[in-house]
A = this chain, B = another copy of it.
């Protein structure tokens, strides 16, 4: 059990991660992404656009005996993923410093693909991920722009994927307001997923 998060559940608080100047998937969205990804032992997971590595760290905790391959283009991100891996005692994250989709070529075929950042190249990234994903594997994308939402819905609606599942999450967090409380809104996020069907 890790001292920073000595629990069996996903959804590590945001502030527990080192995050530098990078944006980070919020706890609520991260917990649900991990849920939707249906992680299990011994799986190989790609985390594309890994950022701070917060999702990679959580994914690693739910794939014991497996591999989490974190692909990240920024130097700052690579350092943060290393720090956060260390902090949470996670040893199976492999770092790929490069930009998707190019950086994905030659990686071991994944049973799960998590797409966070896409840097405007969602289609190209999707094409490679969809091809490399093993049959029965699951692709999950977290999306904040309407265009990427439609792209991923279209992409996951065609063979060889099953009908996509999706959820829009609007979370607001309790904060103090003088002696009272209110709920501070976070921006909504779409989490879209589908399973790759057999031949």
User: Which one, B1, B63, B168, B187, contacts A40 given CB within 8 A?
Assistant: B1
Instruction: Determine whether A62 belongs to the interface, using a CB cutoff of 8 Å to chain B.
Output: yes
Whether A168 contacts B183 by the Cβ 8 Å rule is: yes
A2 CB to nearest chain B CB (Å): 11
Instruction: Determine whether A165 belongs to the interface, using a CB cutoff of 8 Å to chain B.
Output: yes
Among A72-80, A88-96, A172-180, the one that faces the other chain is: A172-180
Among A28-36, A44-52, A101-109, the one that faces the other chain is: A28-36
Task: Tell me the bound Cα distance from A6 to B184 in angstroms.
Answer: 34
CB-CB under 8 A from A183, the residues of chain B are 166-168, 187-188
Q: Mark interface residues in A106-140 (1 if CB within 8 Å of B CB, else 0).
A: 00000000000000100000000000000000000
This chain's copy number in the assembly: 4
Chain A interface: which size bin? 35 or more
Chain B minimum-CB-distance residue to A186: B185
Whether A31 contacts B35 by the Cβ 8 Å rule is: yes
Instruction: Determine whether A181 belongs to the interface, using a CB cutoff of 8 Å to chain B.
Output: yes
| Residues of A near any B CB (own CB < 8 A) | 1, 6-11, 27-28, 31-32, 34-41, 62-64, 120, 144-150, 153, 164-174, 177-188, 192
Q: A1-B40, A172-B188 are in contact. List 18 more A-B contacts (CB 8 A).
A: A6-B40, A7-B39, A8-B64, A9-B34, A11-B35, A31-B32, A145-B177, A146-B146, A146-B153, A148-B180, A149-B150, A153-B181, A166-B181, A167-B171, A168-B183, A170-B172, A182-B187, A185-B187
A-B contact pairs, 24 of them (CB 8 A): A6-B40, A8-B41, A9-B10, A9-B62, A11-B32, A11-B35, A28-B167, A31-B35, A32-B32, A146-B146, A146-B182, A147-B180, A147-B181, A150-B150, A153-B174, A153-B181, A164-B174, A166-B173, A166-B181, A168-B174, A170-B170, A172-B188, A185-B185, A185-B188
